[in-house]
Amino acid sequence: MSIISLVAGSQGSQDSQGSLEGASRALKADIARGFGNARSTYESASRLQRFMGNTMLQKLYTRDAVQAYSEVLDLGCGTGWFTRKLAAMGQVGAVAGVDLSRGMVQEARENSSQGIDWIVGDAEHLPLPDASYDLIFSNLMIQWCEDPRSVFRECRRILRPGGRLMVSSLLDGTLKELKDAWGAADPEHEHVNRFETETALHAKVYAELPRATIETRTIRLPYTSPMMLAGELRHLGAGFRGAERRKAMTAPGRMRNMCGYYPKEPDGTIVASYEAVWIYWQKR
């Protein structure tokens, strides 16, 4: 169940439908603002993002995937790190980057050479024509969407026959250590974003993308302390966006308590677990 449906109440009337749409717009604006505020620190903190995106790029370099792509879209492009990588590939023609955050798109435009088309847009309602792209690359974006099925439908719509879709995301269990530590330190409030279960995501993928290939892996990243992890999430703009969050800044005492509950490695460092998923699909 999405955050929106939890806070919006019944969907049976026009008033409740208006509330749902209003809540959705407000949440998207909050997400866009959070990432826009992190535009100058995002790339320095994006260890996980680079690993997961590079995993998809490697697929494009395999022997059976070397082919020409005349139109390529980086969906959820952020600061344009992978948009630029795609544009530099020899078999790629025109490249566009789309992101919900105007600040991220501005950062991408300012730090990229000419020749890439930058677009501010919602992945669930793309301002792009049908059958206009040969390849869609989307790295760690769909977990921020209300319903990934609407994104998959949009990707299916704008892909040309034979076009390829490559998506990465995160599943339930991501940041489990942080969630458990906050659960002990501040049990009345949520502090970690929710993610789809593997079962739920599989069902949504196969409902919209028949014969898709899904790959999963647990990634464990080291940190010197829980504060370093919290700082990385802040620099990414990936803070908790749920309605259950505290409205005021978290008090230092609660943060210290959370750090005390976070499991430590023998050398005093910590690890954070990320349940990674990659989705690959070709339009018949």
Confidence band of 247 (pLDDT split at 50, 70, 90):
low
Binned at pLDDT 50, 70 and 90, residue 10 comes out as: very low
So what's the pLDDT on residue 146?
Answer: 87
Nearest-angstrom CA–CA distance, 81 and 91: 18
What pLDDT is recorded for position 150? Answer: 97
Residue 186 has pLDDT above 90, yes or no: yes
Predicted TM-score (pTM) of the model is 0.87
Give phi and psi for 131, each to the nearest 5: 50, 50
Report the mean per-residue pLDDT for the chain: 88
CA distance 139 to 75: 8
pLDDT at residue 24 greater than cutoff 90:
no
- Asked if residue 169 lies in contact with residue 280, where contact means CB atoms within 8 angstroms, the answer is no
Q: 151 near 88, Cβ under 8 Å?
A: no
Q: pLDDT confidence of 18, banded at 50, 70, 90?
A: low
> What is the arithmetic mean of pLDDT over 264-284?
97
Residue 20 scores a pLDDT above 50: no
Task: Look at residue 265 and tell me whether its pLDDT is greater than 90.
Answer: yes
CA atoms within 13 A on the CB side of 20: 13
CA 133 to chain centre: 21
Spell out the domains of the chain, with CATH numbers in brackets.
Answer: 11-172+195-215+275-282 (3.40.50.150)
pLDDT of residue 245: 52
Pairing outcome for strands 92-99 and 69-75:
parallel
Q: Are 166 and 138 in contact (CB under 8 A)?
A: yes
**pLDDT (0 to 100) of residue 60:** 86
CA angle, 202 as apex, 198 and 203 as ends, to 5°?
Answer: 120
* Dist. CA 220–CA 227, nearest whole Å: 17
Per the rule left: phi > 0, alpha: psi between -120 and 50, beta: everything else, 30 is alpha
pLDDT digits (tens, 9 = 90+) for 61-72: 775 555 789 999
Instruction: With cut-offs at 50, 70 and 90, classify the pLDDT of residue 4.
Output: very low
Average pLDDT over residues 32-53: 94
77: which 2 tokens?
A: 């492009």
